[in-house]
Amino acid sequence: MTETTRYERQTALKEIGDQGQQQLLQAKVLVIGAGGLGCPVLQYLTAAGVGEIGIADDDVVALNNLHRQILYTEKHVGKLKAEAATDVLQRMNSTVKINQHIVRLDNKNILPIIRLYDVVVDATDNIPARYIVNDACYLLRKPLIYGSILKFEGQLAVFNYNTSITYRDLFPQQPKENEIADCNEAGVIGVLPGIIGSLQAAEAIKIITGIGQVAAGKLITYNMLHNSLYEFNISANLLAASFLPADEKALENADYGEVCDVFSVREIDIASFDEIRNLPGTIVVDVREEYELNETPALESIQMPFSVFDENMALPNSETIVVVCKSGHRSKAAAALLSRKYKNVISLQGGLNNWLTLNKMDHA
């Protein structure tokens, strides 16, 4: 009775009905990226009653995410997005199964994860990942719902659904890193990912239930400033076939470049950390929040909580900067940002939790 009541406004639609709701309850959708686009996708699919939802994201919530990533609040800053999103979504609808894939998807690990799902939503924000996701969905014949945003404009398309059209028919070859801007550089208005992400969720519901006209083989563009909405047909591109992987082995061996620039930093293990942390030329930057500082023995470090982190903050002259946090996720993001200004910046692999565990074992 409870489930009937929950979805009664949805099942009242003749196009959905009880059969459509059952299809949603049995569906499995993977959302890659739990940021600006991923948040509304996850919310609406959870509310609609999609039976199983995967969240693939290894990033953490930052303060500058909150204007557009509406699943999160200030209390989530510094926490893994997949974990924070799961907590919020389960409170919204406890009957939906949420799977967390706290990994950076690349061409080496993506295929086993995508195999678990019926539909894939691309809510990523970097170009290499977009091509990897497209190529994996092409090989596994999984419908792919693409969305992208920049400044005041967004795009939407559905690939590999009742058509051979893929993302490479639109953009055959991966552009070089310096040939395209992203939201970190160009900015984005906060409501735009909500609009495009909602459209992605709508496409997922149409694909699962078989209703309406799916945006397959089409590119829909929306400009918020001009209130313009255009739809373009995507034709098969003869160049696309030459760039698509021939098989799974070809995908795994292909060179897509760095998947997520924010994490392209060097890491050190615990032994190396213990060797260099007290050297005269080394400074340690701790990006944990104040409430976390009593969880490990005190370290001589500079405190820069991730919730208010500023890569432009002046640091003392040093040969090496080691960034640490609780588990190693926030420190990687902070180290990448500091690397724009300082030369030798590294992150402690596994974080201070790992460091404390190994030190306890050594003294047992």
Q: CA–CA distance from 255 to each of 129, 245, 251, 267, 319 (Å)?
A: 12, 11, 9, 22, 32
Q: CA–CA distance from 59 to each of 120, 133, 224, 333 (Å)?
A: 19, 17, 28, 8
Name the residue type at position 309: F
Output the six-digit token pair for 344.
């030798």
| Domain of residue 279, residue span | 265-362
196 and 269 share a domain?
no
277 and 184 share a domain?
no
Mean pLDDT check: name the lowest of 38-52, 85-99, 155-169, 339-353: 339-353
pLDDT tens-digit map of 36-48: 999 999 999 999 9
Contacts of 343 (CB under 8 A, 6+ apart): none
Q: Is the pLDDT of residue 11 over 50?
A: yes
194 and 207 share a domain?
yes
For residue 42, give the nearest of 93, 76, 80 by alpha carbon: 93
pLDDT tens-digit map of 67-122: 999 999 999 988 899 999 999 999 999 999 999 999 888 999 999 999 999 999 99
Tell me, yes or no, if 183 is annotated catalytic: yes
| Residue 190, number of CB atoms within 10 A of its CB | 12
State the CATH number of the domain containing residue 348.
3.40.250.10
283 and 178 share a domain?
no
Between 348 and 98, residue with greater pLDDT: 98
156 and 228 share a domain?
yes
* Structure confidence at residue 311 as a pLDDT band (50, 70, 90): low
220 and 348 share a domain?
no
Q: Is the pLDDT of residue 24 over 60?
A: yes
Where is 306: in which H helix or E strand?
none
State the CATH number of the domain containing residue 117.
3.40.50.720
Per-residue confidence (pLDDT) for residue 364, from 0 to 100: 43
Report which DSSP code applies to 58.
-
Q: Is the pLDDT of residue 362 over 70?
A: no
Q: Domain ends where: 212, 227, 260?
A: 260
Q: Domain ends where: 232, 260, 288?
A: 260
Between CA 192 and CA 213 the distance in angstroms is 23
Between 339 and 72, residue with greater pLDDT: 72
Q: Calculate helix-pair angle for 191-209, 38-48, nearest 10 degrees.
A: 40
Only one residue has tokens 């993977």, namely 30
The pTM of this model reads 0.74
The gap from C-alpha 147 to its chain's centroid, in whole angstroms, comes to 12
Q: For the chain, what percent of residues have pLDDT higher than 70? A: 90
Between 84 and 308, residue with greater pLDDT: 84
252 and 289 share a domain?
no
Per-residue confidence (pLDDT) for residue 363, from 0 to 100: 44
Per-residue confidence (pLDDT) for residue 52, from 0 to 100: 98
Between 322 and 180, residue with greater pLDDT: 322
Q: Is the pLDDT of residue 312 over 80?
A: no
Alpha-helical runs (H) found in the chain: 2-6, 8-11, 17-26, 38-48, 81-92, 110-114, 127-140, 167-170, 183-186, 191-209, 240-243, 248-253, 270-276, 329-338, 351-362
For residue 243, give the nearest of 181, 175, 141, 161 by alpha carbon: 175
Q: Is the pLDDT of residue 266 over 90?
A: no
189 and 78 share a domain?
yes
| Residue in 39, 137, 260, 325 annotated catalytic | 325
pLDDT tens-digit map of 51-61: 999 999 988 89
Tell me, yes or no, if 325 is annotated catalytic: yes
pLDDT tens-digit map of 219-246: 999 999 989 999 989 888 878 888 899 9
- Are the beta carbons of 303 and 310 closer than 8 angstroms? no
User: What domain count does the chain have?
Assistant: 2
254 burial via Cβ count (<10 Å: 0-12, 13-18, 19+): middle
- Are the beta carbons of 187 and 224 closer than 8 angstroms? no
Between 231 and 331, residue with greater pLDDT: 231
**Average per-residue pLDDT for the chain:** 87
